[in-house]
Amino acid sequence: MSSGPGSSTSGAGARIAERARRVVPGGVNSGQRSVPGLTDLVITGTGGARFRTADGREFIDFHAAFGPPLLGHNDPDVARAVAEAGTSLGHMGVGVTEGEVLLAEQLVELIPSVEKILLTSTGSEATFHALRVARAATGRRLVVKFQGCYHGWHDSVSLNVISTPERVGGRDPISTGILPEVLEATLVLPFNDSEAVRAAFAAHGQDIAAVILEPVPHNVGALLPHQEFLTTLREETTRAGSVLVFDEVITGFRHHTGGWQTISGVTPDLTTFGKAMANGAPVGALGGRADLMDLFSSRPGGPTFFAGTYNGHPSVVAAALATLRKLREEPVHEHVFRLGERVRTELTALYQRLDVPAVVAGYGSVFVTYFMPGYAPGQLPGSYTDLLANDAALFVGYRRRLLEHGLFELPLNLKRSHISYAHTDDDVDRLLTATETAVRSALA
Ligand code: PLP
């Protein structure tokens, strides 16, 4: 792990962060990077499961950049592939490279819904194009999303992610500047509620272009989907001729190289990817049924327009190919699933011992603890409304105290944590010990 200049100077973080606030709105380049209580966080080095700050502090990283570095930061195989591409193949923005073809061929082979696939630079672009082509294919207006799911920053989906209780059930935009008619064209339903889905289709089925969901809404931690809910979505969209979109930007590659659709056996029409697909290089992808995907290219530039200067950038493609190779050839999933199971089991035992009402949720490499009473062992929250009972002060409070022990879980309500291939049992031991101390302190 290398550090930047001045990395061990006490107060260096505050000085750089202050310079940032003068020239960068809010001092950071993305929403939620500025965390209350952590305004002077300046990152100078990353490596494996760790990162270092300008103040010379080192943390074991369980935040993992909201999910991309499944192999760990600066994975040497991925870094080598990117460096090689960087010295031999610049981005031309015309034609195609063999790397793009190889990557598409592998994704078509791995992911059940994907007959054809296009690359973007971000997950938001992928979900944007998924909804655009769904509207183009169906000639319809409405999109259905679910409370608690996040699909990026564009207008049709910029509503009802983390809502205050009184805003659940209404339209709750996450941004100003969105046309009301765009927000009105998105219906928001409760996750895991098949009745609500059937009612929406009964009332509006012929006007619904697409249903989009995170098959596991990880943007509010980890709500696991009921199998019957996914099946209902598949049946209702098929019956109404609407497009079913799985947003697998988080679940894709992290939980299975074939995505949640492989785990659940429910195949959507379109799927979006990002994050773990290239272990941290800026990537997104949209794949699915050939008849839908071909709308992007049955004549040059259309009829549904798709473009992007950096789509298929050779360095990003190299990162994705190296990531996929490692996921297929090394016991990555076995390792992160084993550590994830350990964390969930031992945290559950810890909270029982401390007599703290808590639900430790997650899947595979993802874990999150909700602090709420009334859950029997093995019972899980199913919808965003259930999560309103979470004790946000304790959720954020213990994570702030974890920082004092050199452990980093994002101190923001409902945020999930991630385990990578670079984490060890020793890292997990340190997490468990520090969590006990941090929770006791937050409760005191
Ligand atoms: N979809 C999901 C499920 C996400 O979690 C995110 C980002 O967090 C996105 C889409 C948007 O991806 P990006 O931030 O790469 O635009």
248 ligand 1 Cβ < 6 A: no
Greater model confidence, 129 or 6: 129
Q: How do residues 6-62 score in pLDDT, each as one tens digit?
A: 444 569 999 999 999 999 999 999 998 988 888 899 999 999 999 999 999 999 999
Judged against a pLDDT cut of 50, whether residue 3 lies above it is answered with no
Q: How do residues 171-183 score in pLDDT, each as one tens digit?
A: 999 999 999 999 9
Distance 152 CA to ligand 1 centre (A): 5
Instruction: Single out the residue of 324, 322, 373, 366 nearest to residue 352, CA to CA.
Output: 373
249 ligand 1 Cβ < 6 A: yes
Q: What is the mean pLDDT of residues 124-141?
A: 98
> Tokens at residue 96, please?
């195609």
Distance 158 CA to ligand 1 centre (A): 11
Q: Is 313 helix (H, G, I), strand (E, B) or coil?
A: coil
Distance (Å, rounded) from C-alpha 72 to C-alpha 243? 35
% residues pLDDT > 70 (the chain)? 98
Distance 124 CA to ligand 1 centre (A): 6
Band of pLDDT at residue 1, cut at 50, 70 and 90: low
Q: What is the mean pLDDT of residues 95-121?
A: 98
Distance 219 CA to ligand 1 centre (A): 9
- Give me the catalytic one of 40, 61, 247, 427: 247
Instruction: For the chain, list the domains and their CATH numbers.
Output: 1-56 (no CATH), 76-329 (3.40.640.10)
Distance (Å, rounded) from C-alpha 85 to C-alpha 62? 29
122 ligand 1 Cβ < 6 A: yes
For residues 363 and 216, is the Cβ–Cβ distance under 8 A? yes
Nearest CA to ligand 1 atom 10: 151
Q: How do residues 290-330 score in pLDDT, each as one tens digit?
A: 999 999 997 777 899 999 999 999 999 999 999 999 999 99
Q: What is the mean pLDDT of residues 263-287?
A: 98
Indicate the Cα dihedral angle 48, 49, 53, 58, nearest 10°.
-110
> Tokens at residue 196, please?
């609500």
Q: How do residues 350-406 score in pLDDT, each as one tens digit?
A: 999 999 999 999 999 999 999 999 999 999 999 999 999 999 999 999 999 999 999
> Tokens at residue 235, please?
């049946």
Residue 372 to residues 216, 345, 360, 362: CA-CA distances in angstroms? Answer: 20, 17, 10, 15
Looking at the CA of residue 152, tell me the nearest atom of ligand 1.
11
Looking at the CA of residue 219, tell me the nearest atom of ligand 1.
5
124 ligand 1 Cβ < 6 A: yes
Task: Check if 150 is active-site.
Answer: yes
* pLDDT at residue 6, rounded to an integer: 40
Q: Best mutation site among 250, 366, 414 for ligand 1, i.e. most ligand atoms within 8 A of its Cβ?
A: 250
Q: Best mutation site among 275, 414, 416 for ligand 1, i.e. most ligand atoms within 8 A of its Cβ?
A: 275
Looking at the CA of residue 123, tell me the nearest atom of ligand 1.
12
Q: What is the mean pLDDT of residues 399-425?
A: 98
151 ligand 1 Cβ < 6 A: yes
Nearest CA to ligand 1 atom 13: 123
Band of pLDDT at residue 4, cut at 50, 70 and 90: very low
- Give me the catalytic one of 55, 150, 363, 415: 150
Band of pLDDT at residue 5, cut at 50, 70 and 90: very low
Distance (Å, rounded) from C-alpha 3 to C-alpha 52? 7
DSSP string, 316-359: HHHHHHHHHHHHHHS-HHHHHHHHHHHHHHHHHHHHHHHT---E
Q: What is the pTM assigned to this prediction?
A: 0.97
Looking at the CA of residue 122, tell me the nearest atom of ligand 1.
15
* pLDDT at residue 218, rounded to an integer: 98
Nearest CA to ligand 1 atom 2: 151
271 ligand 1 Cβ < 6 A: no
Q: Give me the residues paired with residue 43 across strands.
A: 53
Q: Is 143 helix (H, G, I), strand (E, B) or coil?
A: strand
For residues 435 and 402, is the Cβ–Cβ distance under 8 A? yes
Looking at the CA of residue 284, tell me the nearest atom of ligand 1.
15
Q: Best mutation site among 249, 250, 310, 415 for ligand 1, i.e. most ligand atoms within 8 A of its Cβ?
A: 249
- What is the number of other CB atoms lying within 10 angstroms of the CB of residue 129? 24
Average pLDDT of the chain is 96
Nearest CA to ligand 1 atom 7: 152
Distance 262 CA to ligand 1 centre (A): 20
Distance 10 CA to ligand 1 centre (A): 34
- Give me the catalytic one of 116, 145, 275, 415: 275
274 ligand 1 Cβ < 6 A: yes
DSSP string, 90-129: ---SSS--HHHHHHHHHHHHH-TT-SEEEEESSHHHHHHH
Looking at the CA of residue 214, tell me the nearest atom of ligand 1.
3
**ipTM surpasses 0.90:** yes
Distance 182 CA to ligand 1 centre (A): 20
Q: Give me the residues paired with residue 167 across strands.
A: none
